[in-house]
Structure 1
Amino acid sequence: MLPKATARCLVQRAFSSFSNATEMGLSEQHTAFQSMVREFAQEELRPIADELDSKKKFPREQVKKMGQLGLMGVEINKDLGGAGLDGLSYTIAMEEISRACGGTGTIMTAHNSIFMGPINKFGTDQQKKKILPNFVTGERVGCFMLSEPGNGSDAGAASTLAVYKDDHYKITGTKAWITNSWESSGGSLFATTDRKAKHKGISCFYIPFPSDGLSLGNKESKMGIRCTSTANVIFDDCQIPSENLIGESGQGFKIAMQILDAGRIPIAAQGVGIAADALQRALDYVMKKPVISQNDEELLAEMEVMVTTARLLTYRAARMKDEGKPIGKIAAMAKLYGSEVATSVSHKAIQLMGEDGLIKGGGVERNYRDARITEIYEGTSEIQKVVIAGHMKKEYRNKYTNGQ
Structure 2
Amino acid sequence: MADKVTQGPLEMFGTDALVDEESLAIRDTVRRFVRDRIRPEIAEWYETGTMPVRELAKELGSLGVMGMHLTGYDCAGTSATAYGLACLELEAGDSGLRSLVSVQGSLAMFAIWKHGSEEQKQEWLPRMAAGEAVGCFGLTEPDFGSNPAGMRTAARRDGDDWVLSGNKMWITNGSVADVAVVWARTDDGIRGFVVPTDTPGFSAPEIKKKMSLRASVTSELVLDDVRLPAAAMLPGAKGLSGPLSCLNEARFGIVFGALGAARDCLERTIAYAGERDIFDKPLSAYQITQTKLADMTLELGKGMLLALHLGRLKDAGELRPEQVSLGKLNNVRESIAIARECRTLLGAAGITLEYPVMRHANNLESVLTYEGTSEVHQLVIGQALTGEAAFR
- TM-based fold match above 0.5: yes
Counterpart of 2:328, as a letter, is K
Q: Which moved more, 1:83-92 or 1:271-280?
A: 83-92
Structure 1 residues 230-250: Cα deviation after superposition (integer angstroms, max 9, x where no partner): 12100111001111111357x
CA contact (8 A) 2:67 2:106 kept: no
Structure 1 SS opposite 2:223: strand
Distance 1:18 1:129, change over 3 A: farther
Report 1:290-369 matches (<5 A). 290-291=281-282, 292-369=285-362
Gaps (5+ residues) in structure 1?
Answer: 396-404
Report 1:61-210 matches (<5 A). 61-77=55-71, 79-194=72-187, 201-210=189-198
Gaps (5+ residues) in structure 2?
Answer: none
Structure 2 SS opposite 1:246: coil
Query: Deviation of residue 312 (structure 1)?
Result: 1.4
Query: Deviation of residue 333 (structure 1)?
Result: 0.7
Query: Deviation of residue 21 (structure 1)?
Result: 4.8
Q: So what's the TM-score if we normalise by structure 1?
A: 0.90
Report 1:194-233 matches (<5 A). 194=187, 201-233=189-221
Structure 1 SS opposite 2:16: coil
Name which of 248, 264, 267 aligns with 1:261: 248
Match of 1:246 in 2: 234
> How many angstroms apart in 1 are the aligned matches of 2:13 and 2:102?
21
CA contact (8 A) 1:317 1:327 kept: no
CA contact (8 A) 1:21 1:31 kept: no
Counterpart of 2:244, as a letter, is M
CA contact (8 A) 1:347 1:368 kept: yes
Query: Deviation of residue 268 (structure 1)?
Result: 1.6
> How many angstroms apart in 2 are the aligned matches of 1:167 and 1:20?
58
Match of 2:264 in 1: 277
> How many angstroms apart in 1 are the aligned matches of 2:13 and 2:228?
47
> How many angstroms apart in 1 are the aligned matches of 2:12 and 2:209?
35
Structure 2 SS opposite 1:277: helix
> How many angstroms apart in 2 are the aligned matches of 1:217 and 1:329?
35
Query: Deviation of residue 22 (structure 1)?
Result: 3.1
> How many angstroms apart in 2 are the aligned matches of 1:313 and 1:343?
17
Query: Deviation of residue 340 (structure 1)?
Result: 0.7
> How many angstroms apart in 2 are the aligned matches of 1:316 and 1:241?
43
Structure 2 SS opposite 1:378: coil
Aligned length: 381
Q: Which moved more, 1:311-320 or 1:366-375?
A: 311-320
Q: So what's the TM-score if we normalise by structure 2?
A: 0.93
Match of 2:45 in 1: 52
Structure 1 residues 68-114: Cα deviation after superposition (integer angstroms, max 9, x where no partner): 0111120232x411111121111010000110122111111111111
> How many angstroms apart in 2 are the aligned matches of 1:222 and 1:5?
48
Query: Alignment RMSD, CA only?
Result: 1.9
Query: Deviation of residue 362 (structure 1)?
Result: 2.0
Q: Which moved more, 1:376-385 or 1:67-76?
A: 67-76
Structure 2 SS opposite 1:147: coil
Match of 1:286 in 2: 273
Query: Deviation of residue 286 (structure 1)?
Result: 0.7
CA contact (8 A) 1:313 1:334 kept: yes
CA contact (8 A) 1:59 1:104 kept: no
> How many angstroms apart in 2 are the aligned matches of 1:18 and 1:54?
34
Q: Which moved more, 1:377-386 or 1:108-117?
A: 108-117
Counterpart of 1:210, as a letter, is D
